[in-house]
Structure 1
């Protein structure tokens, strides 16, 4: 009884370890793309192998990592996963619905392919366009997005946009944020990072200094400025909604006089975009009675804010929202006219604001496609949103242009599919289903006759048996093709040979080599090979059974 209780306790502990975190639990996931093992980066946080997050692609090791920036993990950047097949390839991560996430995708080419030709490709998340990645031979590139999840998974995808330029990814980091952070932007839109600067320091900082693992890069290039150290014994940042880390408030930059301003390096694109900018101000010294420091922020030489006095031992946060800007827009921190001290700036963040985020492909179609993928292994390499972005839908689908698109066509002819056809009746907008030239077997499912918009059903050259459901055979609005099957009244044709790899680079799911196919092999004209294989399998099974029976009798006598 005691042993039984110990077993139950151990089982309970194991289940607790394996059970996913509750929705209220924070997310802190680091994925080392292309690595086949997990690692710990400098005893700071662990990086997971990407095996359980992606179903396609090839792992590679880069030629060098000497040019990886210090704020990026040199260890994680030493490997990458490249995707020479499919229009888009996605990582899928379990998260909590309604969670605010910071997602960072990192890319370090490192001449992994020996071509010294870094590719350009697109980056998506959850069916939304994110950025065009211009990878570099020498430096690491990363993109960050902040958004609220609409489902209990989030997907990050790379997509090919130029022939012979193969997308890749080196690292993927997902961190949860407080819902109160960056809340002055509609939760149905995303923030895309342009720049985040530790203005007064010559070093970059991230986790553990920043609990949310934002990268604050050291800022340089200011003209007529000097860096200062904050003399406050402690700094209260609790009232700053976007929660800057204390480390970036302990330094600041200032100009050499009140006539000079601090120009923010926005790194904005050349075309005007909606923006979200937040700047942080904390006085670095306790001012004398005759000293004043008052700050004015100007956009294109026009005052944007009321004068702001940086607090000593605390922080003020100033946000710029509800306007557009581009690379020619100047954002400058000046001393107000009432100030006899020059301006001061500790840190700042610059984002562009996305359009309204999509809800994704209709949930009924996502459900039906998940059933197909679960039962037909060859389809499992496709991931991410099936229909969106519209130029990057799955190769074997066609979708309409609804806000939440519906799948209208399944083009699965010659995909090497085998076994019974699962029930995907939730896909009620299907007009065309093409399943010809596979090895699908069993009865033709009756649910196909209940699809209200179905106009073409091509089941030719499979192994379907039985009779055609009346809901299909009597449907005058349906073009039905069932030739080359094993249906009642038909002579069952030989099974087709395994298909060669089609243009979509999907491997065949032929039967294992040690199990012979039923019937003659197409083109061989000989049936004995299959019979011999079945005899060998039966003989092996019989031998194994007799051996087990003999072992059981010996144990019983013992």
Structure 2
């Protein structure tokens, strides 16, 4: 029977309750599913995020592992840790009027659980892929010269949102964003500029205006983010075109080795 257990560690609200899914002895590969209604429509695109925090709630100090599934499709193998939240996220196209997100026991004695499940519907027009019409893209304008083949594709939308996955509540990162104008625009009537925000905090020192045929790199270094920190690319008031993003690199800062080693 599913049961709920509260955890005491200072965590995001979604991680404070554990939904435990127990199996009768000797039965393996039994699934526990959450049915999600798509509101009477099929072929719906969703973003799903499954959150897990073990926290030694049952006191055996044995973080379980189990499978995560969409309907009958494998999503991934969940590997929990003793004292750190983990999450798995995916964009999934629901082909029917409902979908099921499931956890399944794969090893005897290891009961699946879940802390929180977040699902949101995505519009097919929210973002789209664009291809550069530049005959070539010079990448030497960016310090580490991203591959030209990467810069030939981009996503664009009226509100581009992304976040950095991590397994700790707060972590330091270095983040690099790469931009290039995908089409030659007429300065007389078209303008392409946008700003980068961290949640509601403006991060751009000046508007980002991608160059045509070359690369602009925007760096954000040595700053702290959380698992729920979101970044936004928003058009400026005088921009006539939507924001675009070609590539991103992000590096998590480690704590280093113990000086006694």
User: Which protein has the bigger strand share?
Assistant: 2
CA contact (8 A) 2:42 2:95 kept: yes
Point out where structure 1 has 5 or more consecutive residues left out of the alignment.
1-56, 186-210, 226-238, 253-282, 288-292, 297-304, 321-330, 333-346, 349-558
CA distance in 2: counterparts of 1:312 and 1:92, whole angstroms: 37
2:19 is matched with which residue?
A: 80
Residue 90 of structure 1 pairs with residue 33 of structure 2: yes
| TM-superposed deviation, 1:180 | 1.9
Residue 111 of structure 1 pairs with residue 63 of structure 2: no
CA contact (8 A) 2:20 2:111 kept: no
CA distance in 2: counterparts of 1:77 and 1:139, whole angstroms: 12
Q: Map residues 178-217 of structure 1 onto 2, 5 A cutoff.
A: 178-184=123-129
Q: Map residues 70-469 of structure 1 onto 2, 5 A cutoff.
A: 72-74=12-14, 77-85=16-24, 87=29, 88-95=31-38, 96-184=41-129, 220-222=172-174, 246-248=197-199, 250-252=201-203, 283-285=204-206, 306-308=214-216, 313=236, 316-319=243-246
| TM-superposed deviation, 1:139 | 1.6
| TM-superposed deviation, 1:145 | 1.1
| TM-superposed deviation, 1:213 | 9.3
CA contact (8 A) 1:83 1:89 kept: no
CA distance in 1: counterparts of 2:102 and 2:122, whole angstroms: 22
CA distance in 1: counterparts of 2:115 and 2:243, whole angstroms: 37
CA contact (8 A) 1:77 1:171 kept: no
What secondary structure sits across from 1:222 in the alignment? strand
CA contact (8 A) 1:121 1:159 kept: yes
| TM-superposed deviation, 1:319 | 3.1
What secondary structure sits across from 1:65 in the alignment? coil
1:61 is matched with which residue?
A: 5
CA distance in 1: counterparts of 2:200 and 2:171, whole angstroms: 14
Larger Cα Rg: Structure 1 or Structure 2? 1
2:254 is matched with which residue?
A: none
CA contact (8 A) 1:62 1:80 kept: no
CA contact (8 A) 1:64 1:78 kept: no
Superposed CA RMSD in Å reads 4.3
CA contact (8 A) 1:295 1:309 kept: no
2:229 is matched with which residue?
A: none
Closer, same or farther: CA 214–111 of 1 in aligned 2, 3 Å: farther
User: Which protein has the bigger helix share?
Assistant: 1
CA contact (8 A) 2:54 2:85 kept: yes
| TM-superposed deviation, 1:181 | 3.3
1:463 is matched with which residue?
A: none
TM-score, length of structure 1 as denominator length: 0.27
CA deviations 1:129-185 (Å, max 9, x no partner) are 111111122121111111221001110111122222111112111111111235449
Point out where structure 2 has 5 or more consecutive residues left out of the alignment.
131-158, 177-191, 219-233, 252-261
CA contact (8 A) 1:111 1:137 kept: yes
| TM-superposed deviation, 1:94 | 1.0
CA distance in 1: counterparts of 2:109 and 2:50, whole angstroms: 22
CA contact (8 A) 1:60 1:82 kept: no
2:255 is matched with which residue?
A: none
| TM-superposed deviation, 1:79 | 3.1
